[in-house]
């Protein structure tokens, strides 16, 4: 009887304790930029030769923006977290996903129903934290050299927990050249919704779009944190059915509903730009229930992980299927 109780306890612990989802990356605490950098270094040391780490640019506060690759395939998928400061739970998700996938690949284990050796055909690039300055501000680590300007951009509020923009008040997911002119919102830098003076004005979006052009992903995903929806539709043209099919499969996998943007929806987001620029599938995945002006609670991570733990591998599988059907898969 005691052994049975211990077994039940261990199962419950692994299912519901956030820190149990990975060994190196801990999702049961506020996940900072500094912790992410330490975890990347430790993952490199633990899984030597299995990860490629590339600095794709710097933020306004001089923070490196890392991208981490797992796999040997020439084709790839890219997963991006923390466009917005208050959405750093997406960073935790991608870092836990990265650790689980590289561990499976190294040991030859499966990731749920998926064979990790698929990563020899298609790689995954992780950009866990595109907006390190915004995350740092949201977590109340305010740079003294910029405190007066930040205070004004936050409408005089000394609490920065709702902060969404980058370090100089530009909303990064309103920065991409796809429907940018039609976007409304503040005309001056703000904690949220300011689209900037021109598309790709922000250092972070410049870095990401240059990186995307270099790696040419077959599928692009931007993780966000509120709504439990998946957005996929933006001027998909003749590829609408293909893109819908992929979005529908990810919706079934995660249990999130497919978003239905209005017919006259404006763009400015990463996936809007990716779809129109490359004519390839892109998804915006909102991981948590709707919430206003705040970060998701840490207690939401177990459900988030349960829903999303196979997303990366599912997309790898879709890329293999797509390119096989087109006769384009490179061996």
331 found inside a domain = no
Structural domain count of the chain: 1
Instruction: Decide if 63 contacts 141 (C-beta within 8 A).
Output: no
215 found inside a domain = yes
Q: Tell me which H or E stretch contains 55.
A: strand 51-58
Here the tokens at position 279 are: 């004519």
Read off the pTM.
0.92
CATH of the domain at 301: 3.40.630.10
Answer yes or no: is pLDDT of 135 > 90: yes
250 found inside a domain = yes
Answer yes or no: is pLDDT of 1 > 60: no
330 found inside a domain = no
Among 26-30, 44-48, 301-305, 322-326, whose mean pLDDT is lowest?
322-326
CA dist 305 → 276, 299, 302, 312 (Å): 30, 11, 5, 12
211 found inside a domain = yes
Here the tokens at position 124 are: 């995954």
260 found inside a domain = yes
Task: State the pairing for strand pair 114-115/110-111.
Answer: antiparallel
* pLDDT class of 144 with cuts at 50, 70, 90: confident
Residue 130, domain extent: 2-325
Local structure of residue 146 (DSSP, 8 states): G
* The predicted structure's pLDDT at residue 13: 42
Grouping H, G, I as helix, E, B as strand and the rest as coil, residue 123 is strand
Average confidence score pLDDT of the chain: 92
262 found inside a domain = yes
* pLDDT class of 10 with cuts at 50, 70, 90: very low
In this prediction, what percent of the chain has a pLDDT beyond 90?
88
Answer yes or no: is pLDDT of 80 > 70: yes
CA dist 117 → 99, 104, 322 (Å): 15, 9, 17
Question: What is the pLDDT averaged over residues 14-31?
Answer: 77
């Amino acid at each position: 009887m005691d052994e049975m109780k211990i077994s039940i306890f261990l199962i419950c612990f692994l299912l519901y304790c956030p820190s149990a989802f990975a060994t190196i990356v801990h999702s049961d605490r506020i996940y900072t930029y500094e912790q992410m950098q330490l975890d990347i270094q430790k993952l490199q040391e633990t899984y030597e030769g299995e990860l490629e780490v590339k600095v794709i640019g710097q933020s306004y506060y001089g923070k490196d923006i890392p991208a981490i690759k797992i796999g040997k395939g020439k084709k790839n998928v890219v997963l991006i977290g923390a466009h917005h400061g208050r959405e750093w739970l997406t960073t935790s998700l991608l870092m836990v996903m990265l650790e689980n996938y590289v561990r499976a690949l190294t040991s030859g284990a499966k990731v749920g129903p998926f064979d990790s050796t698929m990563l020899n055909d298609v790689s995954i690039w992780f950009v866990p934290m595109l907006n390190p300055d915004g995350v740092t501000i949201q977590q109340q680590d305010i740079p003294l050299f910029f405190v007066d300007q930040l205070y004004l951009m936050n409408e005089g509020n000394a609490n920065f927990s709702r902060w969404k923009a980058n370090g100089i008040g530009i909303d990064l997911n309103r920065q991409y050249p796809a429907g940018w002119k039609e976007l409304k919102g503040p005309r001056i830098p703000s904690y949220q919704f300011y689209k900037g003076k021109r598309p790709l004005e922000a250092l972070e979006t410049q870095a990401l779009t240059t990186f995307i052009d270099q790696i040419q992903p077959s599928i692009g995903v931007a993780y966000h944190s509120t709504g439990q929806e998946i957005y996929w539709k933006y001027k998909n043209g003749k590829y609408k059915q293909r893109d819908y099919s992929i979005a529908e499969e990810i919706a079934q996998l995660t249990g999130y509903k497919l978003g239905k943007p209005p017919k006259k929806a404006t763009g400015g987001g990463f996936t809007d730009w990716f779809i129109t620029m490359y004519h390839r599938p892109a998804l915006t995945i909102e991981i948590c229930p709707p919430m206003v002006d705040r970060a998701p609670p840490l207690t939401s991570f177990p459900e988030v992980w349960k829903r999303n733990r196979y997303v990366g591998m599912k997309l790898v599988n879709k890329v293999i299927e797509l390119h096989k059907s087109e006769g384009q898969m490179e061996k």
